[in-house]
Structure 1
């Protein structure tokens, strides 16, 4: 197990370097100028050139990247070009919002999707019809539209939940939970479909194996067979689906954060891209890459726990 984790972490190093280099080059070559954004359209070219020089933006691109990389290896991601705040502080203040949304939506999808998929696999046509109906709705309804409808019903009409904003857990756990309900449900609508169908297909394949027939012949109850043996043997593709859904949410939170006015990393990434704020974009991309690496590592560890055959790295 330790060897598996070590190999995955070693492979993460070139991935982080490649992601940071590609992001740096693409953002640097994209149209726009951070100095012009900071000074405004009325600034003279001389003022823009002076600010570019003070920010180091007039240096060769390779030199800018090497300077950023050297500072990043020491734990310094630099300062935002627009707000002049440390990038690490900006990310630290917004990361809990995005993680709360992503983790909350993933938990909701995993619980509902696994239950729905298992019922679908064991209840024949009725269960399959329910799952297919949920799948159609989940695919057809855009997240932003679902969010607007939820706000109109539960905030404006019924007045049960806040429409916008985010409350930190340390400030009030109750208000934190209430502020997450609508955005988490909005994000989870599409994910339930993915997990439910993945669970249904995996459970059907597992319940058709010979060892399941042997357990039935030995007198095991159907419930125990399904939830204890069937679900565990079908867990690997389900875990894969959950991991894919979670990493996909990192980009999907952008629209939901805007709909519910939540100060997450998605909104910060959009603002940084518009302002050509290279250090902030680099920091956000690096943060996302680390999260993806950690999630993939957790999935690999779960694989090894569920199936010992994958413990030897290939």
Structure 2
């Protein structure tokens, strides 16, 4: 376990280093810069050049990256170029929104996907075909379009849920949950379709194994056969897909938070990119990368828990 943890830590650090350097290069290729974003089109050439010098944008790209990396290693990810606010404070006020959105989307995707997948494996027939159609539709439908449709129906027409905005959990748990329903369903439906298909295929393969017939022949209850034995052994491929889904949900927040006007990290990423605010962009990229590596770690630990052979290895 110590060897595994060490390998994961070293790999994660190298990945963070690579991603941060690659982000510097990508941002430098975007037309414009932070100085022009601050001054706007009304700023003179002299003001523009002076502000570039003040912001350190005249330095070579490797020098800029080294300066940022030196501070990041010491725990200082810098301040926003446009607002001057410490980046850490900007992120801390928004992390809860994004994590709440991702967590609620995982509940929707996992709960709905596994339930449909198990039902499809047990019933087959039209349910199995419906799950295939749902999977294709879930992958094909744009999340922003689905979000707008949900807002039009449940917020505008029926008035059951708020169309936009976010209520902190500490202010009102009920309003917090209501503000997350539509965004979570928007993000979770497509993912649920993928999980449902994987669950159905894994369950059908597991239910066809000899030990399942042996358990039934011994008189073990059908409920125990399905949920204690078959679903547990089918959980490994489902866990793999669920890990990929969670990683994808973090990137999906960029668009969904814009649609529902949620003050999370995704909407901050859009604004920071438009402003060429490199310190904010770097901090956001590192946070999302760290979340993805953490999800991969949890998936690996789930493998160890679910499969004794992995644990023995």
TM over 0.5: yes
Q: Does 1:35 align with 2:35?
A: yes
Q: Is the 8 A contact 1:28 1:278 kept in 2?
A: no
The whole-number CA distance in structure 1 between the counterparts of 2:35 and 2:256 is 30
Q: State the match for 2:190 in structure 1.
A: 190
Q: State the match for 1:227 in structure 2.
A: 227
Secondary structure in 1 matching 2:102: helix
Pairing 1:26-105 to 2, within 5 Å after superposition: 26-105=26-105
Deviation, 1:294, is 0.7
Tell me the TM-score normalized by structure 1: 0.96
The whole-number CA distance in structure 2 between the counterparts of 1:205 and 1:150 is 36
Q: Is the 8 A contact 1:23 1:282 kept in 2?
A: yes
Deviation, 1:312, is 6.7
Secondary structure in 2 matching 1:139: helix
Deviation, 1:130, is 3.1
Which shows bigger deviation, 121-130 or 267-276? Answer: 121-130
Q: Is the 8 A contact 1:113 1:199 kept in 2?
A: yes
Q: RMSD between aligned alpha carbons?
A: 1.4
The whole-number CA distance in structure 1 between the counterparts of 2:199 and 2:162 is 33
Provide, for residues 14-34 of structure 1, a one-character-per-residue CA deviation record: whole Å limited to 9, x for no partner. Answer: 011000010111112321111
Pairing 1:159-170 to 2, within 5 Å after superposition: 159-170=159-170
Secondary structure in 2 matching 1:72: helix
Provide, for residues 114-146 of structure 1, a one-character-per-residue CA deviation record: whole Å limited to 9, x for no partner. Answer: 111011111121331331242243234321121
The whole-number CA distance in structure 2 between the counterparts of 1:210 and 1:170 is 51
Q: State the match for 2:247 in structure 1.
A: 247
Deviation, 1:107, is 1.2
Q: State the match for 1:139 in structure 2.
A: 139
The whole-number CA distance in structure 1 between the counterparts of 2:43 and 2:93 is 32
The whole-number CA distance in structure 2 between the counterparts of 1:59 and 1:29 is 15
Count of paired positions = 313
Q: Is the 8 A contact 1:116 1:196 kept in 2?
A: yes
Q: Is the 8 A contact 2:108 2:189 kept in 1?
A: no
Which shows bigger deviation, 294-303 or 133-142? Answer: 133-142
Q: State the match for 1:274 in structure 2.
A: 274
Q: State the match for 2:214 in structure 1.
A: 214
Provide, for residues 25-79 of structure 1, a one-character-per-residue CA deviation record: whole Å limited to 9, x for no partner. Answer: 1112321111011011111111111111111111111111111011001111101
Tell me the TM-score normalized by structure 2: 0.96
Query: RCO greater where, 1 or 2, for CA within 8 Å and sep 6 or more?
Result: 1
Secondary structure in 2 matching 1:94: helix
Deviation, 1:213, is 1.6
